[in-house]
Amino acid sequence: MLSFALTIVRHGETQYNRDKLLQGQGIDTPLSDTGHQQAAAAGQYLRDLHFTNVFVSNLQRAVQTAEIILGNSLHSSATEMILDPLLRERGFGVAEGRPKEHLKNMANAAGQACRDYTPPGGETLEQVKSRFKKFLRSLYQRMLEEHGSADQRSAFTSGPSEPEQPVIAGLADDGVQNVPVHALIVSHGAFIRVSVRHLVEDLQCCLPAGLKMNQIFSPCPNTGISRFIITLRREESGPRASCIQCVFINRKDHLDDVKNS
C-alpha cells in the first residue's frame, strides 16, 4: 500500500472575486494585486515542503497561483506543473460574469437553495463531482506508477493495519513529516467544496478531533489550504483508496499578514 499526502489550495483573489462576480469557466481572469500577495503568502507558508507532483486547473488564476507557490518553494521549484482541465471551476452557464446575488435570485425564483441550483448552461453538482472522481482515478494511477516502485519503501505500509493518525500541531508540515510522496492541487472554490464533500461524505475519510461539519463544508477562502493523507491499495479493477485521513480543511493562517498590510 502506498500512502501519499494531498494538499489542495484555492487560487488567489481576482478582481471578479473582490467584486463578487461569478467567473466559472468562461471568465478567465488574472490575479489581483491582493491575489498575488495571497499566493506569495501561501508559497512562503508551504516553502519548506517537497511536492513530488503538482496538478493545476488550466485557468490562469490557478496557474498564476501555482507558479507563485512553486517560485517560493525551497524544494519544489523544478517540479513539473501539470495543467488539468478536470480541475477547472464549476461551470455557471448564463450566470458567469454576473453578480453572485443574481444567481441567488435565479435560485429563489426556481424554488431552490442557491448551493443546489444549476443555472441554464451550467454544471450540476453531480457533474462537478464526476469530474473530481475522474481526476482521483487518474491521480491514484499516476501515484502508483511514479512512486510505487520497490525503492520507495518509506512510502509504503504493509499488511492490513491502518496508517497512524497524522500529527496536527498547527504547522505547515502537519501530517506529512513521514510521508515522502506529496501532491499539490491548485483549483477553485466551488470545485474544492464539492471535492471535500465527496472525500468526507462519500469516501468517509477520517476527520481530526474537534472539526465541526460547518467548518468542513464552509466556503474555501482565496488560497485556503486543505490536506488529506490517502493510502492506496492495488486491486484487479485498479487502485483504490483503502484509507483517507483529513489533516485540516480551509486553513488560512498565512493570510493574517496580507489582511493587516
Q: Annotation-wise, does 100 bind a ligand?
A: yes
Please give the helix or strand (H or E) that residue 51 lies within, else none: none
Q: Which residues contact 93 (CB under 8 A, 6 or more apart)?
A: 24, 118, 119, 120, 121, 122, 123
Task: Return d(Cα 39, Cα 135) in angstroms, integer.
Answer: 24
Catalytic residue ranges: 11, 89
36 is in an annotated binding site: no
169 burial via Cβ count (<10 Å: 0-12, 13-18, 19+): exposed
**Could you tell me whether strands 182-187 and 2-10 are parallel, antiparallel, or unpaired per DSSP bridges?**
parallel
Query: Which amino acid is present at 198?
Result: H
3-state helix, strand, coil in the chain (%, to 5): 40, 20, 40
- 231/66 Cα distance (integer angstroms): 25
Host H or E run for residue 228? strand 225-233
CB 87 within 8 A of CB 191: yes
**Residue 47, marked binder:** no
DSSP-derived pairing of the beta strands 225-233 and 2-10? antiparallel
88 is in an annotated binding site: no
90 is in an annotated binding site: no
Q: Was 10 annotated as part of a binding site?
A: yes
71 is in an annotated binding site: no
In one letter, which amino acid is 59? L
Local structure of 77: helix, strand or coil: coil
Q: Is 20 annotated as a binding residue?
A: no
The Cα–Cα gap between 10 and 15 comes to: 15
Residue stretches of the annotated binding site: 10-17, 61, 100
Residue stretches of the annotated binding site for substrate: 10-17, 61, 100
